């Protein structure tokens, strides 16, 4: 593991340990986006913001920590996209439309239920996204973040940016526990995005230095990643031609 990646992993492990010591997560959080105590309160805070009220199309990660956000989105009548695990399908997003749901939002927002009932859509079939809510392991006040290290969030964002579904008008937010707010700089790479809003159960932080992916950067993707993600492979074939 390169020193850059070791630095990232060291910060992740520090945050996971901190959360477990404080008993604000269930044991075994290592390697995951933390499902933290107060996630519903953070979702309540988010729902008070203008960016939330103005959004009609949202993309929310399928992690447990953001389950209350997904419920609120459906209850508010927002079109909700969730990524398929590992983006492993040719149509890599679930689409939950509250106008056509036949079950309660609390059930539909569950990631396992969504995988059973939600239609799959390709990037080409999606509407431009007004608000993205991502999960994080650590975030600083500049908006730099660390996920769990798998890299799928960066690929999702790049796919959406490539087709203009994510643009300068899209707000990127994350909901976290206050203990996940990192005081120092976080290691960043060229393809890393920053969030515009950090929402905790206690406060909202507006980040000033917006950073969006420009689209897919093939130099940052391995052949294994491209082969494993059908949407990437399709774009790669078009790029080569």
Tell me the pLDDT tens digit for each residue of 211-232.
888 899 898 889 999 999 999 9
Burial status of residue 159 (CB atoms within 10 A of its CB: 0-12, 13-18, 19 or more): buried
| Confidence (pLDDT) at 240 | 77
Residue 198 has pLDDT above 90, yes or no: yes
Residue 181 has pLDDT above 60, yes or no: yes
Residue 1 has pLDDT above 70, yes or no: no
CATH number of 3-240: 3.40.50.10420
Average pLDDT in the chain: 94
Where are the domains positioned within the chain?
3-240
Q: Beta partners for 59?
A: 81, 132
Instruction: Kindly report the backbone phi and psi dihedral angles of residue 112, in degrees, each rounded to the nearest multiple of 5, phi listed first.
Output: -75, -40
Residue 171 has pLDDT above 80, yes or no: yes
Helix 39-47 vs helix 67-75: crossing angle, to nearest 10: 40
Mean pLDDT of the 91-106 span: 97
What are 145's two structure tokens? 């973040």
């Amino acid at each position: 593991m390169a020193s850059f990646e070791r630095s990232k992993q060291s910060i992740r492990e520090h945050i996971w340990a901190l959360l477990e010591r404080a008993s604000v997560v269930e044991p075994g959080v290592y390697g995951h986006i933390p499902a933290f105590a107060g996630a519903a309160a953070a979702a309540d805070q988010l729902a008070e913001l203008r960016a939330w009220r103005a959004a009609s199309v949202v993309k929310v990660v399928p992690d447990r920590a953001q389950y209350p956000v997904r419920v609120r989105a459906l209850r508010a009548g927002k079109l909700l996209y969730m990524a398929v695990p590992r983006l492993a399908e040719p149509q890599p997003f679930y689409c939950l439309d509250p106008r056509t749901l036949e079950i309660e939002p609390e059930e539909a927002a569950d990631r396992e239920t969504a995988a059973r009932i939600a239609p799959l859509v390709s990037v080409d079939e999606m509407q431009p996204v007004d608000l993205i809510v991502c999960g994080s392991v650590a975030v600083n006040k500049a908006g730099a973040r660390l996920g769990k290290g798998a890299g799928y969030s960066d690929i999702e964002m790049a796919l959406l940016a490539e087709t203009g579904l994510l643009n300068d008008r899209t707000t990127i937010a994350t909901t976290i526990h206050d203990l996940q707010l990192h005081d120092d700089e976080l290691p960043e790479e060229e393809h890393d995005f920053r969030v515009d809003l950090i929402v905790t159960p206690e406060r909202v932080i507006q980040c000033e230095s917006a950073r969006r992916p420009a689209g897919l950067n093939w130099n940052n993707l391995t052949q294994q990643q491209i082969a494993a993600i059908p949407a990437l492979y399709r774009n790669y074939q078009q790029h080569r031609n």
